[in-house]
Amino acid sequence: MRVTVDSEKCQGHNRCFALAPELFDVDDYGTAVVIGDGSVPAELEEKARLAVANCPEFAIGIEE
């Protein structure tokens, strides 16, 4: 599994960073970026789905 952030849609609500800091980081402007290449280890898949389910701008994508 891999996560992505669409930087055009992201408005910096920081929900992803709060729920899955292992997968997402935020820059000085509050915009989210994926950590590394966005690969999600099996034990973090649940957290990745949680981040998707809580992004108000639908900016996070998951590739299975």
Partner 1 sequence: MTDIYGPVTDWQDDFDHAVPEYNERAHEIWAEFQASGCPVAHSDRYGGLWAPFTHELVHEIAYDTDHFTSQGVVVNTGRPLIEAPVGPAPPITSDPPFHNIARRLLLPPFSPKVIAAWEPEVRRLCRDLLDRMGEITPGESVVDAAIQYAQSIPVNVIARMLGFPTEDEELFRGFVHDVLERINEPVEVRMEFMQRLDDYLTAQIEEHRENPRDDLTSYLLGVEIEGQKLSIEHVRGSIVLLLVAGIDTTWSAIGSSIWHLGTHPDDLRRLVDEPEVMLFALEEFLRAYAPVTMARLVKDDHDFHGCPMKANDWVLLPFPAANRDPAQFDRATDFIIDRQENRHGAFGLGIHRCLGSNLARLELKVAVEEFVARFPSFAVDGDVTWSVGQIRGPRRLPVRVDSVA
**Residue 29 binds to partner 1 (criterion: CB under 8 A):** yes
Return d(Cα 46, Cα 30) in angstroms, integer: 24
Do residues 54 and 16 make contact, with C-beta atoms less than 8 angstroms apart? Answer: yes
Which residues sit opposite 62 in a β-bridge? 3
Q: How many CA atoms lie within 13 A of 40 on its CB side?
A: 23
Residue closer to ligand SF4 by CB (options 12, 44) is 12
**Residue 45 binds to partner 1 (criterion: CB under 8 A):** no
What is the binding site for ligand SF4 (CB under 6 A)? Answer: 5, 10-16, 32, 55, 57, 59-60
> By the criterion CB under 8 A, which residues form the site for partner 1?
11-15, 17-19, 26-30, 50, 53-58
